[in-house]
Amino acid sequence: MLSPTDLDRLVKIRHHLHRHPELSCQEEQTAQFVADRLAELGLPVVTGIGGHGLVATIGQGGPAVGLRADMDALAITELTGLPYQSQAAGVMHACGHDGHVTILLGAAMILQRQNFAGQVHLIFQHAEERFGGARLMLDDGLLQRFPMERIFGLHNWPGLPLGAVAVHDGPVMAGTAEFALRFQAAGGHASMPHLTGDPLLAGGHFMTGIQQAVARSVDPMEAAVVTVGSFRGGHAQNIIPQEAELTGTLRAFRAPTLAHLRARVAAVAEAAAAMAGCGWSLEFDANPCSPVVNTAPERDILRQAAGTALIEAPPPVMAGDDFGEFLAVLPGAYAFLGNGALTPEGGLHQPKYDFNDAAIEPGAALLARAALLALGA
């Protein structure tokens, strides 16, 4: 469905994107580059949606379907040594969003050559890794400006056979929420703990107590994770510090479970503070991710679009993707696209990761077929 000339062009596009990554909410040049490529295809483009998001449309009138790709990179120093290695210090496409953008451009090339009734909205989303780009686009009127009945997306997956497609029943990725918890006290000399509360002790109580949030308050048949990723406080062995800060993440496949975990974090923090004689404050990330959960009709469309590339889906993962924000308001489905063998330090969010160019064609074909099937073409 894509000619050798098309594929050569797309690989060059992917390598350019990889060479020039931009962090979440900083994708100005990336968005302009994508808009220019869409203009070369003769497609109308609307830019600046919720920030650096953009949408191009193929077709007119009738029903509409959305196809989404994310565009942002990560704050990781690349160690691949590739000829097209990142030229931005400390920034790289370590999650394959450069490949996702290229796949959606390839899907556009395929769809332009098809006859179908209806519209396909190509959604190039910024800020997936941080700051909730999907929500930013939705809040800026994405669905009012580009009405659609359903939406599809994908993510490359190292460790699955190259070009293979996995489509889950129901949950695919977890919903996520991040928190920052602070304990405060007067602080003082280590020899006189009775004169102050102890933020470090409060943090220790919280560290052990929060594990009960999953072990003793979540249905054991349901998956959930609470992880404290940092604990900072104090600087000397003979001083009780005035403050300690803990940050962490909550993950679950159902929104009610995620809400329950948030409530448990607050309850355990309050108890830990009381035990250690401290004050406390708690903040949650303003941009949580809804779970990515496939709806059945759209799941079946993606599986049909995959054809012989379809494989049995692996278990759902606790990683997050704000594609779930779209699925919270639209029927849709999300696929894993095989990126080939998983190598040491070559997985997602690792410094030696690289998107496999050979996955461009099967990814583009998958999204294009899904859109055509959804439109009844």
| Helices marked H in 20-141 | 28-40, 97-112, 133-139
Confidence label for 288 from pLDDT (cuts 50, 70 and 90): confident
Residues 159 and 25 in one domain: yes
Helix (H) or strand (E) holding 208: helix 199-209
Which entry of 27, 70, 72, 361 is annotated as an active-site residue? Answer: 72
At which of 238, 259, 284 does a domain end? 284
> What would the mean pLDDT of 40-57 be, rounded to a whole number?
98
At which of 284, 318, 346 does a domain end? 284
Residues 347 and 255 in one domain: no
Identify whether 128 is a catalytic site residue: yes
Domain range holding 187?
A: 175-284
Q: Write the CATH number for 218.
A: 3.30.70.360
> What would the mean pLDDT of 100-128 be, rounded to a whole number?
98
Helix axes 360-374 and 97-112, enclosed angle (nearest 10):
50
Structure confidence at residue 286 (pLDDT)? 86
Say whether pLDDT at 185 is over 80: yes
Residues 162 and 185 in one domain: no
Structure confidence at residue 148 (pLDDT)? 98
Q: How many domains are contained in the chain?
A: 2
Residues 321 and 209 in one domain: no
Confidence label for 307 from pLDDT (cuts 50, 70 and 90): very high
Cα 290 to Cα 22, 171, 325: the distances in Å are 24, 11, 5
Residues 139 and 257 in one domain: no
> What would the mean pLDDT of 219-238 be, rounded to a whole number?
96
Structure confidence at residue 85 (pLDDT)? 98
Which entry of 22, 27, 128, 129 is annotated as an active-site residue? Answer: 128
Q: What percent of the chain has pLDDT over 70?
A: 100
Identify whether 72 is a catalytic site residue: yes
At which of 265, 284, 303 does a domain end? 284
Residues 354 and 370 in one domain: yes
Structure confidence at residue 377 (pLDDT)? 74
Structure confidence at residue 150 (pLDDT)? 98
CB atoms within 10 A of CB 58: 24
Residues 241 and 150 in one domain: no
Say whether pLDDT at 12 is over 90: yes
Please write the tens of the pLDDT for every residue from 130-151.
Answer: 999 999 999 999 999 999 999 9
Q: Write the CATH number for 365.
A: 3.40.630.10
Arithmetic mean of pLDDT over the chain: 97
Residues 9 and 124 in one domain: yes
Residues 148 and 24 in one domain: yes
